[in-house]
């Protein structure tokens, strides 16, 4: 799972207030933004500013100028690791070398003055179920008298195909979904708004380089195909999900909306966050074996209406992203540029590390207290959920993943 080397000179940025922030020169996530009335195009975030990359690339006659003028990151994703590394070296130089300041400043805009967009069109979307603590909690909630984990869980990364067309960028409002729900004491289901609307704190991985049908990807080739990482909120209607998911799994209870950050952090920026996985027992089959460190030390924070309700630790995840990708393609399924696969809910062993209200409220039994004096078991109309995250960066501090926010609208 070796990533291309980051050949930046490890200097902090000259951009005002960027040095030592979560968006210093060792981060530099990419997004797609509009500058005033201009058409959307590729940009990079540095501190609380964005750099309009295409005009600078044109001035310097960079071969990748056309990729940076696109209204999507897809062309950059598809260009592959050598181009990713080349563009990143150039970008690190622009924001860390004071001699470049006069070149960059005319194309440096405050974050508050640009409009972010969904950074790429999602090709396929797969959601996994890779947290041992989350899977165990869910098993205890729904099957209190049985073994929490089903027999296959420790042998493969369990997942399902989601709906690519309902992946939205942070800031999009989320309409409470309607569907069939059945009360335990009722003889038949009813149709109406979900009464147990939930969120899930997850990490999403974005595929850059495609593969032909019939060509599995080994865990060691992970960084040859995956461009970067985004925070992801897998909104979930638990009552709809509970009624429909047997025997084929999640469907309408999940497919109404999934939110991602507008900023995609390159995988190479997260090299300093690499950490060993928890012990996997039994040992995975050969096609799923990884070289350590295969996990990532990422600390997630979940806020509901500005109250911190959870701190899920990604380092606790049982299955690694390289194993997810290997299993996803093990039957020969092809990859497409813009494929998105998610980790499943990130949860840790402690109560304040649970990454969903399903777990925080223990299936609706316990109330979650908010700072305004109110409490929740599941989400109410008007609630706003924000996910944020940080991890170790190459400059010795912590880099930030772009926030993901969504507000619930009535059905």
pLDDT at site 37 = 84
Residue 6 within any structural domain of the chain: no
Residue 376 within any structural domain of the chain? yes
pLDDT of 99 reads: 97
> What is the rounded CA–CA span in Å between residue 288 and residue 319?
9
The DSSP 8-state label assigned to residue 232 in this structure reads E
Q: What is the pLDDT of residues 195-209, one digit of tens each?
A: 999 999 999 999 999
User: Which domain-ending residue is among 116, 136, 160?
Assistant: 116
Compute the mean pLDDT over every residue in the chain, rounded to the nearest whole number. Answer: 96
Q: Are strands 190-193 and 159-161 parallel, antiparallel or unpaired?
A: unpaired
CA 115, CA 397: separation in Å to the nearest integer? Answer: 28
pTM of the model: 0.96
Specify if 3 maps to a domain. no
Q: Is residue 306 part of a domain?
A: yes
Q: Is the pLDDT of residue 4 over 70?
A: no
Q: Which pLDDT score is estimated for 194?
A: 98
Clarify whether residues 388 and 240 are in a common domain.
yes
- Could you tell me the CA-to-CA distances from 154 to 24, 117, 201, 332 in Å, in that order? 38, 38, 21, 22
Say whether both 403 and 296 belong to one domain: yes
| SS3 at position 159 | strand
Residue 12 lies in a domain: no
What pLDDT digit, counting tens, does each position of 85-142 carry?
Answer: 999 999 999 999 999 999 999 999 999 999 999 999 999 999 999 999 999 999 999 9
Whether 104 and 146 share a structural domain = no
Domain that holds residue 98: 30-116
User: For 50-84, how does the pLDDT look when each residue is reduced to its tens digit (9 = 90+)?
Assistant: 999 999 999 999 999 999 999 999 999 999 999 99
Q: Which residues are catalytic?
A: 134
The answer to whether 166 and 381 are in contact (CB under 8 A) is no
Phi, psi dihedral angles at 24 (to 5 degrees):
-85, -170
Q: Please say whether the dihedral angle defined by the alpha carbons of residues 145, 151, 152 and 154, taken in this order, is positive or negative.
A: positive
Across-strand partners of 237?
A: 197
Do 273 and 144 reside in the same domain of the chain? Answer: yes
The dihedral through the CA atoms of 394, 395, 398, 401 has a sign that is negative
Among residues 243, 230, 223, 50, the alpha carbon closest in space to that of 142 is found at 243
Q: State whether 252 and 336 are in the same domain.
A: yes
Report whether pLDDT(3) > 70: no
- pLDDT value, residue 216: 98
Report pLDDT digits (tens) over 232-288: 999 999 999 999 999 999 999 999 999 999 999 999 999 999 999 999 999 999 999
Q: DSSP label at 233?
A: E
- CATH number of the domain within which 393 lies: 3.90.850.10
Tell me, yes or no, whether 217 lies in a domain.
yes
Residue 72: closest CA among 34, 107, 28, 109: 34
95 lies in the same domain as 133: no
Same domain, 135 and 232: yes
């Amino acid at each position: 799972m070796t990533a291309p080397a980051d050949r930046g000179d490890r200097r902090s940025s000259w951009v005002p207030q960027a040095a030592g922030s979560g968006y210093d020169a060792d981060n530099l996530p990419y997004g797609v933004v509009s500058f005033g009335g201009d058409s959307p195009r590729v940009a990079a975030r540095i501190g609380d500013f964005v750099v309009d990359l295409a005009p600078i690339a044109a001035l310097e006659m960079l071969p990748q100028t056309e990729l940076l003028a696109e209204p999507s990151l897809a062309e950059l994703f598809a260009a592959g690791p050598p181009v990713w590394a080349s563009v990143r070296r150039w970008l690190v130089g622009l924001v860390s070398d004071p001699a470049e300041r006069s070149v960059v400043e005319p194309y440096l805009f405050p974050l508050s003055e640009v409009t972010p967009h969904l950074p790429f069109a999602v090709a396929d979307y797969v959601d996994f179920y890779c947290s041992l603590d989350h899977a165990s909690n869910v098993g205890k909630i729904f099957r209190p008298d049985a073994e929490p984990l089903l027999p296959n869980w420790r042998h493969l990364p369990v997942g399902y195909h989601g709906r690519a067309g309902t992946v939205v960028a942070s800031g999009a409002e989320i309409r409470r979904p309607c569907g069939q729900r059945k009360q335990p004491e009722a003889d038949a289901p009813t149709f109406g708004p979900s009464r147990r609307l939930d969120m899930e704190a997850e990490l999403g991985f974005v595929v850059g380089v495609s593969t032909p049908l019939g060509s599995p990807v080994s865990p060691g080739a992970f960084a040859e195909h995956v461009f970067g990482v985004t925070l992801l909120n897998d909104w979930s209607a638990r009552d709809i999900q509970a009624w429909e998911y047997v025997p084929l799994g999640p469907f309408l209870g999940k497919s109404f909306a999934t939110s991602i950050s507008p900023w995609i952090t390159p995988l190479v920026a997260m090299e300093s966050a690499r950490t060993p996985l928890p012990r996997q027992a039994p040992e995975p089959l050969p096609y799923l074996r990884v070289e350590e460190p295969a996990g990532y030390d990422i600390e997630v924070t979940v806020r509901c209406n500005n109250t911190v309700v959870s701190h899920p630790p990604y380092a606790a995840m049982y299955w690694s992203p390289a194993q997810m990708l290997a299993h996803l393609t093990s039957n020969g399924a092809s990859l497409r540029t813009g494929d998105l696969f998610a980790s499943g809910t990130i949860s840790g062993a402690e109560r304040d590390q649970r990454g969903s209200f399903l777990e925080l409220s223990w299936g609706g039994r316990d109330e979650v207290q908010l700072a305004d004096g109110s409490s929740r078991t599941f989400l109410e109309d008007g609630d706003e959920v924000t996910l944020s995250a940080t991890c170790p960066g190459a400059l010795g501090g912590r880099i930030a993943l772009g926030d993901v926010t969504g507000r619930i609208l009535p059905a």
